[in-house]
Structure 1
Amino acid sequence: MASLRLSLPSKSLSTPSISHLKVGRNRASVSLFHGIPIRSPVVNPLRIGSPMKEKKRDTVVRASASLSVSARTLQWVSAVSAGILMVTRGTTIQKSFLVPLVALQAPAGIIGWIKGEYGMWTAFLTLLIRLFYFIPGELDLPFLTMLFVITAPYQAISIRGTQGGAIIALAIAVYLAFQHFSRLGNLRKAFDQGSIVATLAIICITVVPFFFLF
């Protein structure tokens, strides 16, 4: 007697199923329906915020960097102008006021160099030479400026870069500008060949502190 055997398949081949799940570093792939890959991007958890916010943040960083560069440039302009006034002869201002002005407006690199080892050695050797030899007054002011910065206490140096320091520097510059133009008599003499360099330097040290008040 013949027997009839019916075998049922354990899994239907036509039934769709999820075969595997692959997760990569930057993507995830899910194979559906007989191994057909469907890929979807994975959000990087390290990137927080929308692209617009990141773009705005980059813009703010670039703007702050450009402002810092501009501030250093203005400090160099003020320091060079004050140095020109120390050695030039085209003005009758009281040049001793330039010493605290340089200490307030000079770039941080110059102040750090003066207060460092090389600046102290330079001041010491200059003082040693000055004890035995005559130094002209135009070269004496830079030496006094170095001594002023070296011996200045922390409380005095800490006002550099603040609004109070900018107000003091502006007051000194305005006073020197008043001395310069009033003693020359008129604007025409201020822009003569012998005084034009000093006049331009006076204008620079007067204008620069305005930018540090805000």
Structure 2
Amino acid sequence: MASLCLSSPSVLSLRLRNRNNRPVLSLTSRLRSPEASVLRCGSSSACFNPLRVSVDCLRMATMRVEKRGRRGSSVVCYAAPLSPRNLQWISTFSSIVLMLSKGTGIQKSFLVPLFALQAPANIISWMKGEYGIWAAFMALLVRLFFFIPGELELPFVALLLVIVAPYQVMNLRGKQEGVIIALAIAGFLAFQHFSRAGSLQKAFDQGSILATLGIICVTVVSFLFLM
């Protein structure tokens, strides 16, 4: 016959007895707090049979663990959709679309400093690193011997600007001065785009809707960075 005794909240004793009710083996171990709590909720007496532990108690303990797991995973997986990093990627993608787009009358050279001010830090570090220098070198060789359209020259100029920009200029990134400059550039480009389109309806025509969306994204992102 075997009996399981809980002498204290953290001490568990196991005793084996023969048919004459004489002790044969006695084991004592210390339990951690979760195990002791499960055993305490199974019976209110000091000694109990482990086979009589309540099924409802185990079910409640399992539900508590699952709830804690769900809470933890929800905190880890949550990410703000309008975080500064996501806004930087939106601005960078919109600037590249505007550089390559033909449905706008803006002065596209203003997109180069805007890209340098609002591009993510990992892109800037890549452009200033060894791979960026090699990319600029290969693009310069292609430019020397082949004709490159004006839209494709702007990414190359942006790469050269980031590489040769001094530390004092690149230090404006993320500061209020750089945000104000980026917002002024975005506002000027938006004014040029909508004024040269003629009307708001023409700005959303099939040929210029992509450029219009890019202008709106760049302006809104620059305004959000100022807030």
Q: Fold-level match, TM-score > 0.5?
A: yes
In structure 1, what is the Cα distance between the partners aligned to 2:121 and 2:80?
16
Corresponding position of 1:40: none
Distance 1:186 1:93 in 2: 15
- 1:197 aligned residue: 210
Selected match of 1:162 from 167, 170, 175: 175
Indicate the residue corresponding to 1:177 in structure 2: 190
Q: Secondary structure at the match of 2:205?
A: coil
Task: Indicate the residue corresponding to 1:152 in structure 2.
Answer: 165
Sort the Cα spacing of 1:161 and 1:67 in 2 relative to 1 into closer, same or farther, 3 A. Answer: farther
In the other structure, the counterpart of 1:94 is 107
Residue 104 (structure 2) pairs with residue 73 (structure 1): no
AA paired with 1:198?
A
- The Cα of 1:113 is off from its aligned counterpart by 0.6
- Correspondence for 2:57: none
| 1:54 aligned partner | none
How high is the TM-score relative to the length of structure 1?
A: 0.69
Q: State the partner residue of 1:210.
A: 223
Give unpaired runs (5+ residues) of structure 1: 1-23, 28-61
Tell me the CA shift for residue 211 of structure 1.
1.6
Separation in structure 1 between the aligned mates of residue 80 and residue 168 of structure 2, nearest angstrom: 26
1:211 and 1:91 map into 2 onto residues whose CA distance is 24
CA distance in 2, matches of 1:192, 1:203: 15
Q: AA paired with 2:160?
A: L
Q: Which amino acid aligns with 1:137?
A: G
Shift, 1:69, TM fit: 7.3
Higher RCO (Cα < 8 Å, 6 or more apart): 1
Deviation at 1:68, TM superposition (A): 9.9
Structure 1: distance between partners of 2:80 and 2:112: 26
Deviation of 1:67 after TM superposition, in Å, equals 6.0
Alpha-carbon shift at residue 129 of structure 1 (Å): 1.1
Q: 2-side partners of 1:161 and 1:139: how far apart?
A: 27
Taking structure 1 as reference, are residues 68 and 203 closer, same or farther at Cα in structure 2, changes over 3 Å only?
closer
Amino acid in structure 2 at the alignment position of 1:202: I
User: 2:127: which partner in 1?
Assistant: 114
Q: Which runs of 5+ in 2 are unaligned?
A: 1-29, 34-74
CA distance in 2, matches of 1:161, 1:211: 12
Letter in 1 for 2:134: W
Question: Structure 1, residues 126-160: CA drift from partner, whole Å, max 9, x if none?
Answer: 00111111111111000000000000000000110
User: Which structure has the larger Rg?
Assistant: 1
Deviations for 1:54-81, whole angstroms, at most 9, x for unmatched residues? xxxxxxxx7xx95697111000000000
Find the aligned partners of 1:105 and 1:68 in 2 and give their Cα distance.
17
1: CA distance, partners of 2:216 / 2:139: 31
Inter-partner Cα distance in structure 2 for 1:123 and 1:113: 12
Change (3 A) 1:195 1:152: same
